[in-house]
Structure 1
Amino acid sequence: MFNLLNRKSIKSIERSIDKYNEVLVDDINLKMRIRCRNKIYTTDVEFFDNREVVFRCPIDRHDIIRFNNKSIVKVDFVSYSGLYITELLITEKIMKDDVLYYRGEINSPIEKRQRRKDYRLPITLDLSYTLLPREYSQYSGSTLDISSNGMLMETYENIYQTKKLKINIDIDGKKYTIKGTVLRKRNNFSNGTYLYNIKFDDLSSRNKSEIARFIFDTKRALVKN
């Protein structure tokens, strides 16, 4: 990987990986933006550990975007804690369950460029939900992260009938009923569940402030520990 890099560059890469590896590895909702051929493609990161990254092949409309082996691409890791800039050296093409993935290695120091305005707190909270508008059945799930504007929900249900949900959740001892819209859905191949990015709809300013305060206090307590 580093045969074209001098020792100083290698040390810089290793220091940046040591600094940011934990926060990127822990973000189950980590995304990657790839800047290639004067376009930007967004895709899912399936695996991240130290120098190694495995990501799903991005798609432009109906066409998959292919990368040559040993090519170098500029990427942004989009995490709950910020935006991280680096380059990847493409090392391998992987086909699994008829889905194309690429394996790459960090090829330049990771730089943090910005902090997200809407911080997502990684936390597991049990919840129940119904499908709008009919609400025939109630299903169970849990959060993987939450912000004052939305959440990442994990559930065993394959939701395809609607994008509108009504969610019942206990946050810091207070019960909330929140309507939400599914923005994105993907499979969690590790345990057979489904992951849903949900945007909160018409959340009152008071409830939004309460959730934001809970997130801030929890984050501060984690930092102190």
Structure 2
Amino acid sequence: MVRGVFYFSIFTVMKKCLLVFLWVLTAQGAMAQTNGDTVALDTRYLEDQFYIGLTYNFLLEKPDVVNQSNLSYGLQMGFIKDMPINAGRTVALGLGLGYGLYSYYSNLQAVELEEDFGYLIIDDEADFKRNKIESHMIEVPFEFRWRSSNEVSYKFWRVYTGFKVGYALGSRSKLVPTEGAKTSFYNTDIRKFQYGLTFNFGYNTFNLHAYYSLSNLFDDNVYLDGDPIDIKPLRLGIVFYIL
């Protein structure tokens, strides 16, 4: 029951944050149109301090018998402190704090045992709707930033590369069969600390986002048929910035 309340609370907060983000984005556009050229130039402007992104999550280096299915999605949002390091403010460092929700759908089923967990491959002929692993992450991104921005334009090119460290607040495994009751439980085999490389590139509103994990999704002592499960996530998608 406590776990259910935890996940409900997380989704509620995530929904509210998304609504606030969309409201701020709309308000910013309206202010820009209303004030026009009357806005005083800010020569000490900052860029792209709030972000929200959507990704598709791939599983790399997985065992050959593991196949992905459904839509393995990801949602991330947060704040990055922009710290320009040149006079033109086109080069900067960024350090932030954010939240990420990542789901991985596959035929790799986790089974809850008395003291730990086991893993097996769902038979190809098995009748099930979906099977997933889901993680809620607190994330700390660090970026080296280049952009073609200036104090009068909101449209510019950007290339942001960096590193991200994440801590799993909670992870769960869930199987939904075609018939019968679903199984869902808190999975502590998911690695608590995860880290990887990030790359963001784009112009104006739409930007491509990539994250390649340097750490495994599972802890080191997790096995499938006697072999360690060394899976590394790759997340590709889009990211939006404001302010």
Say which structure, 1 or 2, has more relative contact order (CA 8 Å, 6+ apart). Answer: 2
Alignment TM-score, normalising by the size of structure 2: 0.23
Alignment TM-score, normalising by the size of structure 1: 0.24
